[in-house]
Copies of this chain bind each other. A is one copy, B any other.
Amino acid sequence: MPRTREFHPDSVLDAALDLFWRKGYKACSMADVVKKTGVARYGLYQAFKDKDQLYCCTLRRYRQKVRDFLYSSFLQPNDQPDFHTLAEHFNRILDELETGEYQGCFAHQAAIERAGKDPEVDAIVSGFFKDIEDHYRALLIRSVELKQVRDLPVEDLVAYVMGIQRALIAMSKQNCSIQERRNYVRCALELMQP
């Protein structure tokens, strides 16, 4: 009976993610999304309720994209990632920050701009970092067994590696050169080894 929708919600989310990531939550208006996607205002509000919900949806989509990135880093070519896999993973992130069109991490940006203002954002951000921790944990347990890293409590190692990632993300927003970033990661990983 009804008229069929002329846009695909996922493509709207990709466009909105691009805009929110580039400009931030406040500085990106619904008019910006309309202009970029060509989708009518009515369609956006019908599909996503309001701006806050649209933002949360883009954040969830980002989380899924990063999850895919993690799987592709840690589960190929074999299913036994170890410390070398971690080094390669950070190199992938360094390459992405160097050549990709986005600086920094959308979830971290969301945490800073919307922390404590939208509980739903808080929850997604927490889950986002939990995803990453889980991948690191599995890898680090194996690295300890193989004596590739110092023999410390696994949770300490997880927190330490999360710290490397957090620092790297921060650096890429604070005018640190690519060389500085690579040196930092190399040094921080070296200090983990026995």
Chain A residues with a Cβ under 8 A of chain B: 24, 26-27, 103-104, 108-109, 111-113, 115, 122, 125-126, 129, 150, 152, 155-157, 159-160, 162-164, 166-171, 173-175, 180, 183-184, 187-188, 191-192
Contacts and interface: CB of A to CB of B under 8 A. Distances in A.
Nearest to A181: B159
28 contacts: A24-B112, A24-B113, A26-B26, A26-B27, A103-B115, A104-B112, A108-B174, A112-B112, A113-B113, A115-B175, A126-B174, A152-B187, A155-B183, A156-B187, A157-B187, A159-B183, A159-B187, A160-B184, A160-B188, A162-B184, A163-B163, A163-B164, A163-B168, A163-B184, A164-B167, A166-B171, A169-B170, A191-B192
A188 B26 CA distance: 35
Nearest to A22: B116
Nearest to A113: B24
A113 B24 CA distance: 7
